Structure formats: C-alpha cells, structure tokens
Structure 1
C-alpha cells in the first residue's frame, strides 16, 4: 500500500504542472490567460450545468473525461485552434504524453484512465461527443460573455462558428449556436431563458479563477487559485477512490468538489491556519458563505438551484459518507502541496505538527484513515527537523549494574 500511495501521489503532483500550461483564451475579465487546470475545472462545471439532464448519457463519465482530457498538455502544451499545426504529429505527441502520465499510476488505475482519455479523443461514444461539444463551446462563450472581448478573439469565434469545429453546433446545439451568433452581432436574441441563466452562472463561475488561496503550486512559483484547486481535488477523488469506504459514490464526491468553493467568489478563501485556526469555521465565515451560496446558485434555473445548493450543503455538513470523504481530500491536497514546495503555509503561518494534526489530520483520518497514516509519516519529519513536532521517543538508558 505504501508503494501504491506513493505512485498515486506522484501522479497528482505531476498533474499540478497543468496549472502552469497557458491557453490562448483569457479570463472573462481579460486580466490574464487562462491555464489548462482551471479550464478543465470550468469544463467539469459546464458538464454539470449543461449535461445533467441529457437522456441516455452517463454524466459521471462525461465529467471524468473533462477532468482528464488535457493532462497530456503537461508535455505538449496547448495548441490554439486558429494556428496552423501538424494534426497527426500533435495527436501522436499527445498519445505518447498520455501513456507517460497515466503510466505513473498503478496499472489498475492508470489503464482505465488512459482508455477514458482515448475514448474522449476518438469521440465515438455519446459521452465523448458531448464532452467534445462542451470543450468546443466553452471558449466561444468565454469570449462572447466577456464585458471587454478582444477583437482578435472575436474574429476567431466568428471564423469558428462559420467554418470551424463549432459550425456543427448549427445542427447539434441550435439554441447555443443562435445565441452565439446573436451575441457576436450585438443582438439580444431569443435564446431560451434557461440557457441564458446557465450561461450567466457559468460566466460568474469564471471569477473563481481569480480567487487566490494561501497554498502555492507544488513548485512554489505562485499561489494557487480556487478554480484550479477544485479541478485538482476532482482529480484527487478519481485517483484515490480506492481509499474511500465502500459506501462512497465517487461521482457524487467529484460533483461536490467541483462545486464546493464557488462561494469564495463572494467571500474569498479563508485559510485554515489563519487567525490561529479559528477564522475558517467561524460563525461569521459560515454565514457569509451561506449568503454567497444563495446568490450564486440562485443564478441557475430553479431545479438546478435546488440540486446544486443541496449538494453544497451536504458537503458543508460533512455527515454523509460522500461528504466526509470529499472533506478528507479537501484537507489532504494542501498538505501535499506544502510538502512539495518545502513547507508553504506551514512556514508562513507558523504551524506546529500538533496544530496540523488537530486542524487537518483529524478530518483526513475521519474519511480516509489510510491516507492520513501515509501522509502523516511524511509530514512529521518536516516538523521534527524544525523543532515544531514531537521527536521519536528513545528508550530509557539502562541503569547502573
């Protein structure tokens, strides 16, 4: 089990690099380029919002594909659709990257995930075709719903809708195609109200990519944002599913983790070690998050408002097996980020090992005791080496005679 968890966490650390791969798209506010990790999170959210009621489609598999689909770009980088490239050569490079990256995992985990990635690429199943559709739609509305879209990005969207891969939306998704054309032309259009509400929610969700956390990326290069953190947690759930109790439904855990931090659009991130560990779960913080949940999930059509809010409430209450396991993953990911970058928030907040165990370890152990046992053994030396944790006890010296 030790070697198995080592491989699983090595994969998850390697996946962290996707947060540093930049796309041609920019955030809706135009402040910076979007990275591929937060793009993958946004697409998983798109699937929950747009594909949840599709008959005959396994939503869990669609979400899983979108969480995984761009991992090969760790090696190949992002290839913007409007630039010329050698498509067969790129496909070969991405396939090689997928074999390397998924090959980091134990075979019983890596092989099915590689097959899922290959299914997405082939687009031969209903789930893969829907995942591709969402992957192609998100960048279009990322441009069209921006308050200040860039002129060259509008030109790319116009060409894409006219003769590119999005031209097929005219038949496959006519409501979205018509709305895109209306937005491009500056017309109000006649798109259904539910489609507009869903797109408004997804546009608002883009703001989560600008909420900074205290935790840094594994390489320590910058602070992580809550959008890419949510993507990484969804991946954690997929990779560490074997550590969940048998009653846990991983598909529901992933949905919780995709949604769980959306309230931070209004409240910001409250680090678990800030204010002596008291601010994170204070009555003031919890009330602010509840108000944010009311506003943000309230942007959706009524049925989805109820569905998403209930899932968020379940996560917050941490009473169901799914929520307990989701909370464990939410606590363990920052620990692994800190270990990777040499201490991170433990240094900046002056955290002791006892504080780590009481604030974090207890919650990890509640849902995933095997994970905490493994992680604890790796975190403890960091604290001991700095005089912030218990040193191993030594047997008493023998008495005279």
Structure 2
C-alpha cells in the first residue's frame, strides 16, 4: 500500500509542477511575468517573516493554507482580478480543477488538501483570514516592486483586497505602507508615462 501512496503522490507532484508555468499578471523586478508558483513561494515566505506579528496562530496551518490556495490554477490557470467579470464562477472552477489535480493522491491526503482549500476560500479560521489577507498583500507588493508595462493600473490596487487586508490590525498596517508605495508608483508612472 505504501508503494501506491508514493506513486500517487509523485503523480500529483508532477501535475502540480504546472504552477511553475502558469503566469500571473504581475511582473518581477526584471520585467518577466511571475508564475503562480513564485507568488505562492513568496506568500509563504511573507507568512513566515510576519509570524510574530500575527498573534497566537497555528503557523503550520497558515503555511499549508498558503501553499494550497492557488493549487487549482495548475489546471485552469490564473484569472487576474482586473479580468474577473462575475460571469465565471472562479471558485467553482478552481475547486473542480483541484479535484482533478488531486485524484492520484491517497484519499486522506486528498481530503486534507481539499479541506484546506475550502477553509481558505471560506475564510473559516483565523489562519485562513490571515492567508487571504497576506495573499492580497503579496500581490500588491509584487505590483509595486515589478517592472510593469507603461499602462499598468496602479489605482486598481488601492481598492484591491481591501476587505481581506482590513480583517487583522497587522495586515491593515502593512496595507497602509503598501498603499503609500502604490501611490508613489502611480505618480512616477504618470510623470514618466
């Protein structure tokens, strides 16, 4: 039985590798579009770096939530927030994609990953609330740091994820700093654009 679990896990990991090629709308500081895997990596790093500021949370759970939050995008890709029109149920699509992606895993591991993803989506625990807020902050940080196209809409970021980033006092504090950076980037792009 252990051999089957190992083979299933390896099959899953091979499929999850797709996240390295799924591109997001954000650009790195060198101007290359970032991948979902890169975003997830820095989201986890952000959670680790800010752990002491987040209060008595289960850090392992927070990291697990961060790791699985965009996992379904390995199948269906990323839909940038500015392109979400409400006609497509992004949550339902990601869940369906995650079910496909995890089919090779043993039932217990599959249920764990699906449960974590559902917890994240519903923001049903303090860790999930933090993961959602940190996700928005990482995106804004990348947009402020990235070498973006001339027509990049910095104003969008000033409203983006406001509900999630105001759910915790520390997230709101980080958001205030990032909003100032966003305003500065917008002003710079107006002068040089």
State whether TM-score is above 0.5: yes
Task: List gaps (5 residues or longer) in structure 1.
Answer: 188-401
Distance 1:113 1:168, change over 3 A: closer
Q: Deviations over 1:176-222 (max 9, x none)?
A: 232223223339xxxxxxxxxxxxxxxxxxxxxxxxxxxxxxxxxxx
Distance 2:95 2:176 in 1: 35
Distance 1:118 1:133 in 2: 16
| CA apart distance, 1:18 | 1.3
Distance 1:118 1:167 in 2: 19
8 A contact 2:19–2:71 mirrored in 1 = yes
2:161 to 160, 165, 170: 165
Q: Deviations over 1:49-99 (max 9, x none)?
A: 123442221111111111111111111110100113336522221111111
Distance 2:20 2:184 in 1: 34
SS at 1:103 equivalent:
coil
Number of equivalenced pairs: 182
Larger Rg: 1
| CA apart distance, 1:12 | 0.9
Task: List gaps (5 residues or longer) in structure 2.
Answer: 186-193
Distance 1:171 1:124 in 2: 12
TM-score (norm 2): 0.84
TM-score (norm 1): 0.42
Distance 1:58 1:186, change over 3 A: same
Which position in structure 2 is the counterpart of 1:182? 180
Q: What RMSD over aligned residues (CA atoms) do the two structures have, in Å?
A: 2.1
Distance 1:108 1:181, change over 3 A: closer
8 A contact 2:129–2:167 mirrored in 1 = no
Which position in structure 1 is the counterpart of 2:190? none
Matched, 1:78 2:74: no
